[in-house]
Structure 1
Amino acid sequence: MPTVDRAEVLKLYPALAGLPAGRLDALLQPQAVMQLPAGTQVFAEHQPCQGFPLLLAGSIKVIKLASSGRELMLYRVAPGGSCIISSSCLLGHTDYNARGIAETPLTLLALPVPVFASLMLEHAPFRDFVFHLFAERIGELMQLVEEVAFSRLDQRLARLILARQDDVLNVTHQQLADELGSVREIVSRLLKGFAAQGLVLLGREQLTVSDRAGLQKLAAV
């Protein structure tokens, strides 16, 4: 059974620091910690929320699946953050309306539903943390809506490549398509166009940025 590093949890989630010692110890029991391998479905659409996850290590991508089978990535959850879809389900007593997938091996602390409810009512720093996440994520989702509705796909692809920061990306065309909510054939055609312009070099499951300034110009058009 995994152990809980109390100092690490409080460093990632300082909103818990003001809790009485006994109550904090009750939250940090080893049985509350979950370790999941990469690729695990953390939660699924139409599934009831069983608790509020506090991510200690790893990355979760939250995606929406269309009836056509295409996916659109909504946001990622990193250590120190949490999932607003989980909190909205708990606050609204509704089921999940998106999927959460472990991008990497995960370690997370699961707060049971009654614990989440009592913290929201009785512990102002935790309540502020949850509502701050709402504000932050809604801003990100509004930007995503704007990009999907008003930006050309080549602009969005250029921004996605630039957002990775690295010059060499170990990524498939399908993975990029999934993040954009598009299909692989269209993304492959756009990437070939980028390569023809000297913006990128394409390899097997690899993409190398060769003209970052050119991509930035395209992304800003």
Structure 2
Amino acid sequence: MAPTAAVEPQRLLNLYPALSGLPAERLAALLQPGAVMHLPAGTAVFAEHQPCQGFPLLLEGHIKVVKLAASGRELMLYRVGPGGSCIISSSCLLGHTEYNARGIAETPLTLLALPVPAFAALMLEHAPFRDFVFHLFAERIGELMQLVEEVAFARLDQRLAKLLLARNEAVLNVTHQQLADELGSVREIVSRLLKGFSAQGLVTLGREQLSIVDRAGLQKMALV
């Protein structure tokens, strides 16, 4: 990781209003040189069984948080965007445990890494920040419960249809392997399902790309 140019305090506050109300000198201390980092796409932000070194506040880009199975397959748990953060990081810091998933820079990232002492002090002394962290817990637990329900009870073709619709784009620049990783499946099965979608006129397939032709049809598939 390499430090970037200084970040204006107001930019941080716009994304993380929970830090409003901090004294100017304390806010400046959080933004000291070296705290704001830049990571290229594909970088491991954190890894399983690694101790947590700080609490990330994302300023630019997206992190995907995945769980790796013993078989080598991955299941995408959730994404973190600007203004959000990672509940796995906060749970590790609060529980004094190691990471039990890994975070990957899905795009180039700019983030502020709150040191462990700064995170602990904010949780203890600054109620808006503490509320922000616990609100994240509530949101993410709801998302993870929905994921558990889908994995346990929904057919893979339903989950694939929902995944394609969730991207909210007519043309998706994505590989079959990437879709399989997000679904916790294998490429061969996802490819077979996509060929079925194509045969039904729901999508057209290209090289590392697919186009949604019949969005209403996919929505029906997702609800079957």
TM-score > 0.5, shorter chain as reference: yes
Partners of 1:4 and 1:161 in 2: how far apart? 35
Query: Which position in structure 2 is the counterpart of 1:44?
Result: 47
User: How many residue pairs get matched?
Assistant: 221
Within 5 Å, give how 1:138-177 maps onto structure 2.
138-177=141-180
Report which stretch shifted further, 87-96 or 27-36: 27-36
Alignment match of 1:124 (pick from 127, 132, 136):
127
Partners of 2:34 and 2:216 in 1: how far apart? 50
Deviation at 1:7, TM superposition (A): 1.2
The gaps in structure 1 that reach 5 residues or longer are none
Q: Does 1:207 align with 2:207?
A: no
Deviation at 1:198, TM superposition (A): 0.3
Query: Which position in structure 2 is the counterpart of 1:17?
Result: 20
Query: Which position in structure 1 is the counterpart of 2:184?
Result: 181
Q: Which amino acid aligns with 2:166?
A: A
Partners of 1:63 and 1:215 in 2: how far apart? 26
Partners of 1:201 and 1:144 in 2: how far apart? 27
Contact 1:57 1:78 (8 Å CA) reproduced? yes
Q: Which amino acid aligns with 2:153?
A: F
Q: Which amino acid aligns with 1:122?
A: E
Partners of 2:59 and 2:8 in 1: how far apart? 10
Q: Does 1:65 align with 2:68?
A: yes
Deviations 1:65-123 (A, max 9, x none): 00000000000000000000000000000000000000000000000000000100000
Query: Which position in structure 1 is the counterpart of 2:91?
Result: 88
Contact 2:9 2:27 (8 Å CA) reproduced? no
TM-score scaled by length of structure 2: 0.98
Partners of 2:28 and 2:199 in 1: how far apart? 59
Query: Which position in structure 2 is the counterpart of 1:76?
Result: 79
Deviation at 1:26, TM superposition (A): 0.7
Partners of 2:219 and 2:156 in 1: how far apart? 14
Contact 1:4 1:29 (8 Å CA) reproduced? no
Query: Which position in structure 2 is the counterpart of 1:109?
Result: 112
* Secondary structure of the structure 1 residue equivalent to 2:59: strand
* Secondary structure of the structure 2 residue equivalent to 1:165: coil
Partners of 2:34 and 2:49 in 1: how far apart? 26
What is the identity percentage for the equivalent residue pairs of Structure 1 and Structure 2? 84
Partners of 2:32 and 2:20 in 1: how far apart? 16
CA RMSD of aligned residues (A): 0.6
Contact 1:4 1:30 (8 Å CA) reproduced? no
Deviation at 1:30, TM superposition (A): 2.6
Partners of 1:209 and 1:24 in 2: how far apart? 46
* Secondary structure of the structure 1 residue equivalent to 2:159: helix
Deviation at 1:173, TM superposition (A): 0.2
Q: Which amino acid aligns with 1:100?
A: G
Query: Which position in structure 1 is the counterpart of 2:6?
Result: 3
Partners of 2:19 and 2:10 in 1: how far apart? 11
The gaps in structure 2 that reach 5 residues or longer are none
| Superposed structure 1 runs of 4+ greater than 4 Å apart | none
Alignment match of 2:102 (pick from 99, 103, 109):
99
TM-score scaled by length of structure 1: 0.99
Deviations 1:48-70 (A, max 9, x none): 00000000000000000000000
* Secondary structure of the structure 1 residue equivalent to 2:34: helix
Partners of 2:33 and 2:182 in 1: how far apart? 34
